[in-house]
Amino acid sequence: MDPDALAKAFVEHYYSTFDTNRNGLANLYQEGSMLTFEGQKIQGASNIVAKLTSLPFQQCHHSISTVDCQPSGVNAGMLVFVSGNLQLAGEQHTLKFSQMFHLIPTPQGSYYVLNDIFRLNYA
Amino acid sequence: MDPDASAKAFVEQYYSTFDTNRNNLPCSLSRLRRSWCQHSITTVDSQPSAVNSAMLVFVSGNLQLAGEQHSLKFSQMFHLIPTPQGSYYVLNDIFRLNYA
C-alpha cells in the first residue's frame, strides 16, 4: 500500500474509533507512546486512553480536511499531519483542530502511535 | 537544554530566519512571491521521537503577509535530527494553512 493510502486508512480508523468507542483506541498506543493534548503531556497507553475518555463530552465527530504524510526515517515510521473540524454534541459551530501522529510499524504488520500531538486552532 | 527549551529556540530561529532571510531556507521557500511575511507563534509542543535524541515539534500560529489586512492561521510540524556539531537539522517539515 502506498504511504498516502496507508495514512488515510489509519486516519479514518483512528477518528471513527475516537468518535464511536474511545476505549478502542487503547490498541493503537503502547507503553512508550506519548500524547500532548492541548499542551498537557501524557505517557503510556492506559494514561492516554484515560485522558481521552475523560474529556468533557460524550459524543463528537471529526471531519477531516487535510491529511499529509512523510516517512519519518525511523524504523520505517511514518509522520501523519491532519487538519479538520471537530463537532461536539449540542454545539452549533465546529472547532478547528490540527494533529500529528508518528506511526511505527508493529511486528504484526500494523502500526501503533508513538507520538501524538493535538491542538485546537482558535480563531 | 530541556527538549521544550530546545524546541522553542529552534522555532524562534527558524521563523525569524524565514521572515528576514528566506534564502537561507530551502530553495522552494525563497521563491514565495510575497516581499515579506511575519510569523507570530501561538503554541509550540515538542516530544522526543525516540531515536537518537530526535525531536518532534508541532507549531501553530498566525502568518501575516505583506499588503494583507488579516493574518492566516497555520500549523506546522518539524522532525529534528541532531547533527554531530550539536545542533539540529530538519528531516521532516509539513506545513498547512488552517482555513476558517
Contact A117 B45 (CB under 8 A): yes
pLDDT digits (tens, 9 = 90+) for B40-69: 999 999 999 866 689 899 999 998 888 877
User: Predicted confidence band at A4 (pLDDT cuts at 50, 70, 90)?
Assistant: confident
CATH number of B3-97: 3.10.450.50
Residue in B53, B59, B54, B22 with CA at minimum distance from that of residue B37: B22
Neighbour tally for B6: CB within 10 Å: 18
Q: What is the pLDDT of residue B26?
A: 60
The helix (run of H) or strand (run of E) holding residue B37 is: strand B37-48
B6 to each of A30, B2, B3, B81, B82, how far by Cα in Å?
26, 6, 5, 12, 11
Which domains, and CATH codes, for chain A? 1-118 (3.10.450.50)
ipTM score of complex:
0.89
Q: Does B62 touch chain A (CB under 8 A)?
A: no
pLDDT single digits (tens) A45-90: 999 999 999 998 877 999 999 999 999 986 789 899 999 999 888 8
Higher model confidence: residue A30 or residue B1?
A30
The residues on A that touch B, with CB distances below 8 Å, are 32, 34, 36, 39, 41, 65-66, 68, 70, 72-75, 79, 81, 83, 96, 98, 100, 102, 114-115, 117, 119, 121-123
Q: Which residue has the higher pLDDT, A3 or B43?
A: B43
Q: Is B41 on the interface with A (CB under 8 A)?
A: no
All residues of chain B having their beta carbon less than 8 Å from the beta carbon of residue A114 are 49-50
The confidence score (pLDDT) of residue B23 equals 62
Q: List, edge to edge, every strand of the sheet that includes A40-43.
A: A40-43, A29-37, A111-120, A95-105, A78-88, A60-71
Instruction: Check: CB of residue B61 under 8 Å from CB of residue B53.
Output: no
* pLDDT of the residue at B52: 66
Three-state DSSP string of chain A: CCHHHHHHHHHHHHHHHHHHCHHHHHHHEEEEEEEEECCEEEECHHHHHHHHHCCCCCCEEEEEEEEEEEECCCCCCEEEEEEEEEEECCCCCCEEEEEEEEEEECCCCCEEEEEEEEEECCC
Average pLDDT of chain A is 91
The pLDDT value recorded for residue B74 is 94
For residue B34, name the pLDDT band (cuts at 50, 70, 90): low
B85-99 residue pLDDT tens? 888 899 999 999 987
